[in-house]
Amino acid sequence: MNRLASKGLAFKRFASLLVCLLLAALIPCAGLAEKKVTVTFTGDITLGGETYVQKGEFSFSGYYKKYGAEYFLKYLRPLFESDDLTVINFEGTFDDNLGDENTNKVIRFHAPTSYVNVLTTSSVELCGLSNNHSLDFKQNGINSTKETLLAAGLDYTVLYRSVVKELNGVKLGFISLYWADFSRNRHTWMQEEIKRLKQEEGVSAVVVSIHAGTEYDKKHNKSQKYMATTAVDAGADLVIMHHPHVLQGCEIMNSRYVFYSLGNTCFGGNNEVWSLETAVLQVDFYFTDEGEYTAQQVRIYPAHTTGTYPRSNFQPILVSGTDAANVLSLIQYDTKFQLQPFDETTGCVTQPLLLADGTELTDELAVSAVEGAPEATGTELGQ
């Protein structure tokens, strides 16, 4: 390595070291003992599908019979296992009784209760049920879904039922709503619940999931923006949306991230692929030792809903290279700020640390901090 390249590498390492020092100074904490909680979020997950297609060899059920429960989320499982909590939007029902089908609906998703093993074997812990398919088999269907999840050791959120998880000594709250809840003025429960969770239950941060948007529209609409703003204004610390079945963009509101759609993740609703691109989101929440929320950092993992095309094999995979660039371009298309570049080594985009006061801590802070400082050499950095 020539002297110029060596100095450049040394400076980058020095800047990285300074970023770490700035993190220690800017995140309010007792020494370096701040608490971190990592939560993973996916897009829509539909197990099974419509009853009339489930008997086919190439249906979701056909793959389940052939490969078993662990097959479907096999390539996402390591990511799920690396976090403190994995949250999905479960779009469908777990029900062994098909006699209560909601024939007023054109599309009705159903899975046998045994299919819950797809989730339990893949380190999924929390399911959002506030969506337009939870009542595909009427009240009996959603009751069976709730009972199946709880019996399997999973939990769920739905209108009027929030969930509090204590992770690494910090309490996080989770709430989910359907867009119709806003039109029926039920979202006032969300506003009151966020306040109650923080004031009465000692919750340090609240995540709100909202099922809203226009299906297959690549840009979020005004209604989604209004719902996200309402949630953040009420005290939500992160907003995740579902329903469009395609990727949409993200934005920052009051120093909190909003993601408008993560697309489909594992989708048994169609044997043919209608939407290939998806993303898995992993968020690090930071807190002081006393539990005060201080910052969040987002990682975006580009993925495909299936490893085969145009017929789905119902097995989502993480992607890289050109495939990752295509996935990220869809998010960027609906995002006003520039996303960070994709890192082939980590397999994700890592957004700057977003402090609770609105500061984004980036490498540029480190560069500006050392402008005019003596040039670092490899010897000075211990090379």
Question: Which residue stretches of the chain have pLDDT < 50?
Answer: 1-33, 363-383
Question: What are the CA-CA distances from residue 365 to residues 26, 116, 278, 361, 368 (Å)?
Answer: 12, 46, 32, 7, 5
Cα–Cα distance measured from residue 264 to residue 33, given in angstroms and rounded to the nearest whole number: 37
Question: What are the CA-CA distances from residue 300 to residues 79, 323, 325 (Å)?
Answer: 12, 14, 12
At 361 the pLDDT is: 58
Average pLDDT, the chain: 87
Q: Where are the beta strands (DSSP E) in 196-352?
A: 205-211, 238-242, 250-253, 256-259, 264-267, 277-287, 293-304, 317-318, 349-350
At 51 the pLDDT is: 78
Among residues 73, 44, 38, the alpha carbon closest in space to that of 262 is found at 44
| Torsion sign (Cα): 286, 291, 292, 293 | positive
Span 33-370 CATH architecture: 4-Layer Sandwich (3.60)
Virtual torsion, Cα 231, 234, 235, 236, nearest 10 deg: -10
Tally Cβ neighbours within 10 Å of residue 160: 13
At 187 the pLDDT is: 93
At 137 the pLDDT is: 82
Virtual torsion, Cα 148, 172, 283, 273, nearest 10 deg: 20
Domain positions in the chain are 33-370
At 298 the pLDDT is: 98
At 373 the pLDDT is: 29
pLDDT digits (tens, 9 = 90+) for 189-239: 999 999 999 999 999 999 999 999 999 999 999 999 999 999 999 999 999
The two beta strands, 256-259 and 250-253, are antiparallel
Q: What is the pTM of this model?
A: 0.86
At 360 the pLDDT is: 62
